[in-house]
Amino acid sequence: MEVEFNAGADPGKAVSEASGRALAIAAEYVLEQANRSIPHEEGTLQRSGRASVNDEGTQAAVTYDTPYAVPVHENLTARHDEGRRAKWLELTLQEQKEQVRQIIADGIRGAL
């Protein structure tokens, strides 16, 4: 009995592309979740948020681009409206790490 398996033209390339897409989806997910607890007055900080993936598709980032993003993120003594908090991005990633892993795993699994 003979069994033949065809993995496609370049399975490594397919997995690499899938992982880049999965990282992009995961980064967007983290951004969306983080925005739920970002300190909010006028919305400028929240609107500055971006999710991105490097050209190689190996690293993702969530960034906020205002001059005060880091000070607001790091200031543990500031008071925020209910449901809003300092360290919103760091804490969100910690809280959502299993979901982020699942998003990435599902994306890669789909390429196999």
Task: Give me the DSSP letters along the chain.
Answer: --------S-HHHHHHHHHHHHHHHHHHHHHHHHTTTS--SSSHHHHTEEEEE-TTSS-EEEEE-STTHHHHHH-TT----TT--TTHHHHHHHHHHHHHHHHHHHHHHTT-
Question: Does a structural domain hold residue 27?
Answer: yes
Predicted structure pTM score: 0.87
Q: How many structural domains are present in the chain?
A: 1
Question: Does a structural domain hold residue 5?
Answer: no
Question: Does a structural domain hold residue 6?
Answer: no
Residue 52 · residue 26 · CB < 8 Å: no
Question: Does a structural domain hold residue 46?
Answer: yes
Question: Does a structural domain hold residue 54?
Answer: yes
Question: Does a structural domain hold residue 2?
Answer: no
Question: Does a structural domain hold residue 4?
Answer: no
Percent of the chain surpassing pLDDT 70: 91
Task: Give residue 84's domain range.
Answer: 11-109
The partner residues of 65 in beta bridges, in order of sequence, read none
Question: Does a structural domain hold residue 3?
Answer: no
The 10s digit of each residue's pLDDT in 30-81 is 999 999 999 998 999 999 999 999 999 999 999 999 999 999 999 999 999 9
